[in-house]
Amino acid sequence: MNEKQKQNLIRIVITSVIMIALNFIEADGMFRFTLYIIPYFIIGHDILIKAVKGIRNRQPFDENLLMAIATLGAIALALYRSGDYVEAIAVMLFYQIGEWFQSYAVGKSRKDIADLMDIAPDYANMENEDGQLEQVDPDDVEIGSVIVVKPGERVPIDGIVLEGHSTLNTAALTGESLPRDVEPGNEIISGSINLNGLLKVRTTKEFGESTASKILELIEDAGSRKSKSEEFITKFARVYTPIVVWAAIALAVIPPVVLTVMDSEPMWGEWLYRALTFLIISCPCALVISIPLSFFAGLGAASRHGILVKGSNYMETLSETKTVVFDKTGTLTKGTFSVVAIHPEKLDENQLLHLAAHVERYSSHPIALSLLEAYPNEHDDCHIENTEEIAGRGIKAIINGDTVCVGNARMMEDLGINWKPCEHSGTIVHVAINGEYEGHIVVADTPKPHSKAAIKALKAQGIRETIMLTGDAKAVADVVAAELGLDQVRSDLLPQDKVSEVEKLLAGKRSEDEALAFVGDGINDAPVLSRADIGIAMGAMGSDAAIEAADVVLMDDDPFKIATAIRVSRKCLRIVKENIWFAIGIKVLVLVAGALGFASMWAAIFADVGVAVLAILNAMRCMYIKAQQPETVS
């Protein structure tokens, strides 16, 4: 609680005590009025002052002014008619309780989410000339500096470990609770907690460009990308108050005038009372606060699960997802291949592997890595030059004067070489030397442990279609798709084909309200990520292009997080819709009842304050949305 909240709470308590005490005191006339006006001023003086300022600044629809008119009007009516001042004071009292609660709840969830996101340390340890550790502002640490991270501290800046062994807790970043071992040569990302050993780290980024700072920036910016619901509420709020206020004025004047014309009793007091109930309900607070709060809490819950949603608008689109398109390699499968078979024509197996490994020396493609892994001491005295990568085909290089081509069937066809098919399922890497076919190597990729559970969970959530796009051959792709239970596969795609496939799928959507999500690992698929309704990049920490292009960033590479992300977005949106219908519904109901004379000021207070409190409590549920566990999906 801050100072202002404490003061207001004291005022609320004092006023409540006085009101209860006044219940037991018999008083009449002006004495009664004086007794009751004291708690009114205690609880309402700041509203009255703000109301005067509102008049001075020509803000006719200022909520303080409306509240002041409503309560002063009720007091005037009481003085003139019944002597029942309780209603007016209760309106003010409950209004203040509602305001206090709002401010407390918002402050609390703001703090909870800030704690959740407290991942960027505000200092870095550096050694000075005397070998002593010194705390410096991380902003001043240049790239390539050496920083020291002590046990228990958070890593402030991304870097590479120079000295020391330790385990890191990356839960705040990835949602993954299993600690990770690091040793010299490993890359570590800022925001993770060093659990036990002292680490010396050479920084590879500036503080502002480091993972932790980037994540914080993403989360803070997320609120400014507004969803359709929030835009609707803003528009609604803008017209709601004026309409209700004009309706109140009409209600106070028209019926009595009509009644007078019709020669019956005008009942000015009664109609004025009904008009005043309108003013109490005229603030759209419940909606204006609870909708952004729901999204804010939902974004917070998602990031606790290691899912960064870049804006409330994406949260909304994510919840409307009906089709999920996956990239295969690195998304559904581990992306690490291993050699499963070698079928040479003339050479022996080792020689074939040897040549292929040489050609792939400089490539970072997963297939290249698997070949290098299968032939560990690749750096020998062979002479390799003119390495050339042909996108979607393979790699060509000159080894000891011979032109060696390593790639897929398409590459062989381009070269006019007769290649042989293979009975093995997997990716076939053909090798040709000087235009002669020399055989092939089969490498295969295995699905990630949670891929199958992820597809199942998505199906259970009502995702209509799951589609896999891949550059792999049909045979390989079909095997993986069948194993994971995907609905459709598009194989043999070049990187640019993926965009056109996604465009075809987008064109074939059944309605505008359903969304298509594309999930990729952020390598080479930035154009597809930005083309889909929702681009989800996984394990993309550190790849700026992917973070830029994606709308949702999964901090680790667990495909089950896709199901979690959609689950969180659906729950969040359901809570948002509940709040919209509930708040507008109750308000309209009480307005109608008030106009007909069935609703007292008490009902009006409930429609204003009670609804706001309930909507806020409901919104806060977004913060505690739990993820399903992959093991429980059956």
Partner 1 sequence: MKKTYKIDVDCANCAAKMEDAANKVNGVKAASVNFMALKMKVEFEDGVEPNEVMKNVLADCRKVEPDCEIFFE
Residues serving a catalytic function are: 327
Site string (230-259) toward partner 1, x via CB under 8 A: ----x--x----------------------
Q: How far is the CB of 242 from partner 1 (least distance, A)?
A: 13
Range 135-174, binding partner 1 (CB under 8 A): none
Q: How far is the CB of 110 from partner 1 (least distance, A)?
A: 6
Q: How far is the CB of 215 from partner 1 (least distance, A)?
A: 14
d(CA 492, CA 427): 11
Identity of residue 329: T
For partner 1, give the closer residue by CB, 289 or 554. 289
308 is a site residue for partner 1 (CB under 8 A): no
Looking at the DSSP bridge assignments, the partners of residue 23 are: none
For partner 1, give the closer residue by CB, 59 or 363. 59
Q: How far is the CB of 74 from partner 1 (least distance, A)?
A: 23
Give alpha helix (H) positions in 341-494: 349-359, 366-374, 409-414, 451-460, 474-484
Identity of residue 43: I
- Which two tokens mark 354? 């040897």
Q: How far is the CB of 459 from partner 1 (least distance, A)?
A: 34
Q: How far is the CB of 48 from partner 1 (least distance, A)?
A: 13
288 is a site residue for partner 1 (CB under 8 A): yes
116 is a site residue for partner 1 (CB under 8 A): no
223 is a site residue for partner 1 (CB under 8 A): yes
Give the SS3 label for residue 172. Answer: helix
Counting every residue written for the chain, the total comes to 634
For partner 1, give the closer residue by CB, 110 or 410. 110
d(CA 325, CA 328): 9
Evaluate whether 218 touches 196 at the Cβ level (below 8 Å): no
Range 391-430, binding partner 1 (CB under 8 A): none
Of positions 18, 251, 279, 293, contacts partner 1 by CB under 8 A:
293
Q: CA 425 → CA 13, 422, 557, distances in Å?
A: 75, 8, 25
Count of residues of this chain found to bind partner 1 when the rule CB under 8 A is applied: 24
Specify burial of residue 40 (Cβ count, 10 A radius: 0-12, 13-18, 19+).
Answer: buried
Range 32-61, binding partner 1 (CB under 8 A): 50, 53, 57, 59
For partner 1, give the closer residue by CB, 57 or 132. 57
For partner 1, give the closer residue by CB, 284 or 559. 284
Q: Which strands sit side by side in the sheet containing 384-390, from one edge to the other?
A: 333-344, 436-447, 427-433, 402-407, 394-399, 384-390
Looking at the DSSP bridge assignments, the partners of residue 338 are: 444
289 is a site residue for partner 1 (CB under 8 A): yes
Q: How far is the CB of 63 from partner 1 (least distance, A)?
A: 7
Q: How far is the CB of 239 from partner 1 (least distance, A)?
A: 13
Using the rule CB under 8 A, give the single segment among 98-106, 194-202, 324-332, 340-348 that binds partner 1: 98-106
Give me the sign of the Cα torsion angle 327, 332, 335, 340: negative
For partner 1, give the closer residue by CB, 62 or 327. 62
d(CA 205, CA 143): 5
The one-character DSSP state at 154 is: B
103 is a site residue for partner 1 (CB under 8 A): yes
99 is a site residue for partner 1 (CB under 8 A): yes
CA angle centred on 100, ends 96 and 104, rounded to 5°:
170
For partner 1, give the closer residue by CB, 44 or 284. 284
Using the rule CB under 8 A, give the single segment among 220-228, 274-282, 429-437, 558-566 that binds partner 1: 220-228
115 is a site residue for partner 1 (CB under 8 A): no
94 is a site residue for partner 1 (CB under 8 A): no
285 is a site residue for partner 1 (CB under 8 A): yes
Evaluate whether 91 touches 77 at the Cβ level (below 8 Å): no
Q: CA 108 → CA 12, 32, 111, 284, 608, distances in Å?
A: 20, 40, 5, 22, 22
For partner 1, give the closer residue by CB, 289 or 489. 289
Using the rule CB under 8 A, give the single segment among 101-109, 150-158, 185-193, 452-460 that binds partner 1: 101-109
A 10 A CB-CB count for 239 gives 10
Give the SS3 label for residue 435. Answer: coil
220 is a site residue for partner 1 (CB under 8 A): yes
Evaluate whether 570 touches 461 at the Cβ level (below 8 Å): yes
For partner 1, give the closer residue by CB, 296 or 326. 296
For partner 1, give the closer residue by CB, 96 or 331. 96
298 is a site residue for partner 1 (CB under 8 A): no
Of the candidates 233, 237, 235, 248, the residue with the CA atom closest to the CA atom of residue 66: 248
Q: How far is the CB of 100 from partner 1 (least distance, A)?
A: 10
388 is a site residue for partner 1 (CB under 8 A): no
Using the rule CB under 8 A, give the single segment among 194-202, 217-225, 363-371, 505-513 that binds partner 1: 217-225
Q: How far is the CB of 103 from partner 1 (least distance, A)?
A: 6
Using the rule CB under 8 A, give the single segment among 27-35, 103-111, 546-554, 593-601 that binds partner 1: 103-111
224 is a site residue for partner 1 (CB under 8 A): yes
For partner 1, give the closer residue by CB, 186 or 234. 234
Evaluate whether 18 touches 39 at the Cβ level (below 8 Å): yes
Q: CA 274 → CA 98, 278, 585, 592, distances in Å?
A: 22, 7, 19, 10
Of the candidates 363, 370, 405, 402, the residue with the CA atom closest to the CA atom of residue 384: 402
CA angle centred on 609, ends 604 and 610, rounded to 5°:
90
Return the residue matching tokens 């006044």: 22
Of positions 292, 335, 426, 559, contacts partner 1 by CB under 8 A:
292
d(CA 91, CA 124): 53
- Which two tokens mark 351? 């020689």
Give me the torsion for CA of 176, 181, 186, 191, rounded to 10°: 40
Using the rule CB under 8 A, give the single segment among 100-108, 419-427, 574-582, 603-611 that binds partner 1: 100-108
Of positions 95, 273, 296, 560, contacts partner 1 by CB under 8 A:
296
**What are φ and ψ of residue 71, in 5° steps?**
-75, -45
Of the candidates 600, 621, 613, the residue with the CA atom closest to the CA atom of residue 96: 613
511 is a site residue for partner 1 (CB under 8 A): no
Q: How far is the CB of 91 from partner 1 (least distance, A)?
A: 18
Binding site for partner 1 (CB under 8 A): 50, 53, 57, 59, 62-63, 99, 102-103, 106, 110, 220, 223-224, 234, 237, 283-285, 288-289, 292-293, 296
